[in-house]
Amino acid sequence: QVQLVESGGGLVQPGGSLRLSCAASGSISSFIAMGWYRQAPGKQRDLVATVTTGGSTNFVDSIKGRFTISRDNAKNTVYLQMNSLKPEDTAVYYCNARRARETFWGQGTQVTVSS
């Protein structure tokens, strides 16, 4: 059973930073891609950033230059470093992992950016 456990969310002031972690049960090299999505209240779940096994990354335009996605294969963990946070970044952030025939989601972690 594949499990994804997110952590690192919380309350931060505008301009602050947070690092989200997604720990997977098993080797993350078994996934075609892993990434982060977010969903604000009343809105759809949108892609934030993804990284493939080969290291290719993709980001939504609104966070380019502020967020970084990275992997630690030894720890089976994917990170999302979030800098220069804005109130519009407030959302529940979900970890996602994909195989050829399967997709998995974490439970989500709340990020609130407010003064």
Q: What is the DSSP string of 19-49?
A: EEEEEESS-GGGSSEEEEEEE-TTS--EEEE
**pLDDT score of 26 more than 90:** no
* pLDDT of amino acid 1: 72
Per-residue pLDDT of 56-115, as tens digits, reads 999 999 998 999 999 999 999 999 999 999 999 999 999 999 999 999 999 999 999 999
Q: Is 8 left (phi over 0), alpha (psi -120 to 50) or beta?
A: left
pLDDT mean over 38-67: 95
pLDDT mean over 12-41: 95
* Amino acid symbol at 69: I
* pLDDT of amino acid 111: 98
